[in-house]
């Protein structure tokens, strides 16, 4: 379905569910960037729309490192416009879910974790933008609560994000997480001078399992956007990078 793009996807055996992270480079499109307010980003979004042919225009949310999650299609009064610019400028959220076939859930990332969700029967999908702040604010819990099945029926795929060896944070950030729970002790490695390496993948897995997902239903978490040039990385490129898109929908 995404034949003109280089992609990574989960090894799921879930009927009708499609999940892809579109990488930084592509065979037929020079540089893939999904930055908002960027002409090249708009062209990439249009190319994706043409390939997927969704039932309605994809809503590209304005992500704010929070924990708000929206449903698409939304209420009639929320979607009474075909202008995606309206949502881009006004709809702040960091996750999307749907029960509707061919409605596309999408987030963009460049070091933060994209996490895709599906129930076992492939009747609901969702995706979240889960960076450090989103994880701290409980975005995983919000998505699990939006699923209309028991947590043990949910599958999660943690897409490409920054690895622990490339993600150095301050003592203050470590203390904020430890104030939430001592279980996070294991996600930090002391590297001296008040600095720590932080494993966002492990934080995500801890939270997914704490919300009732089975260990064997969580996959992915094996990349490093900082060191692997296939990916955009805001930290590596000093905030000047493009963005990758992670898309989830049901055919």
**Average pLDDT value over all residues in the chain:** 88
Give CATH 3.60.140.10 domain extents, the chain.
Answer: 7-163+213-250
Query: Is 198:113 a contact under the CB 8 Å cutoff?
Result: no
At residue 240, the pLDDT reads 78
Higher pLDDT, 9 or 32: 9
The pLDDT tens digits for 121-130 are 999 999 999 9
Confidence of residue 71 (pLDDT cuts 50, 70, 90): very high
Stated pTM of the model: 0.90
CA–CA distance from 22 to each of 3, 4, 9, 47, 67 (Å)? 11, 10, 9, 12, 23
| Rg of the chain taking only CA atoms, in angstroms | 17
Residue 232 Cα distances to 31, 89, 159, 246, angstroms: 10, 23, 13, 13
Residues 6+ apart with CB under 8 A from 160: 8, 21, 109, 114, 223, 225, 228, 231, 244
- Cα 239 → chain centroid: 18
**What's the CATH code, domain 7-163+213-250?**
3.60.140.10
pLDDT digits (tens, 9 = 90+) for 187-231: 999 999 999 999 999 999 999 999 999 999 999 999 999 999 989
User: What tens digit of pLDDT does each residue of 94-107 get?
Assistant: 999 999 999 999 99
Q: Which residues of 13-33 are buried (b: 16+ CB within 10 A; e: fewer)?
A: ebeebbbbbbbbebeebeebb
6-15, 111-120, 231-240: which has the minimum mean pLDDT? 231-240
């Amino acid at each position: 379905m995404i034949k003109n793009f280089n992609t990574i996807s989960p090894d799921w055996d879930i009927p009708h569910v499609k999940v892809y992270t579109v990488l930084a480079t592509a065979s037929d499109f020079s540089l893939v960037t999904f930055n908002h307010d960027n002409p090249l980003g708009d062209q990439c979004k249009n190319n994706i729309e043409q390939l997927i042919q969704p039932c309605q225009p994809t809503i590209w949310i304005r992500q704010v490192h929070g924990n708000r999650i929206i449903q698409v299609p939304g209420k009639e009064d929320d979607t009474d416009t075909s202008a995606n610019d309206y949502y881009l400028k006004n709809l702040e959220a960091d996750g999307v879910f749907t029960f509707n076939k061919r409605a596309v859930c999408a987030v963009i990332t460049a070091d933060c974790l994209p996490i895709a969700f599906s129930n076992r029967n492939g009747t609901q999908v969702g995706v979240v933008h889960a960076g450090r702040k989103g994880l701290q604010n409980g975005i995983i819990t919000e998505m699990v609560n939006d699923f209309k099945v028991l947590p043990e029926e949910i599958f999660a795929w943690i897409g490409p994000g920054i690895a622990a060896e490339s993600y150095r944070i301050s003592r203050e950030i470590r203390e904020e997480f430890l104030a939430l729970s001592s279980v996070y002790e294991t996600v930090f490695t002391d590297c001296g001078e008040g600095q720590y390496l932080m494993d966002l993948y492990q934080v995500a897995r801890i939270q997914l399992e704490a919300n009732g997902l089975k260990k064997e239903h969580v996959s992915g978490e094996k990349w490093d956007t900082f060191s692997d040039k296939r990916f955009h990385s805001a930290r590596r490129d000093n905030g000047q990078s493009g963005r990758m898109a992670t898309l989830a929908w049901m055919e």
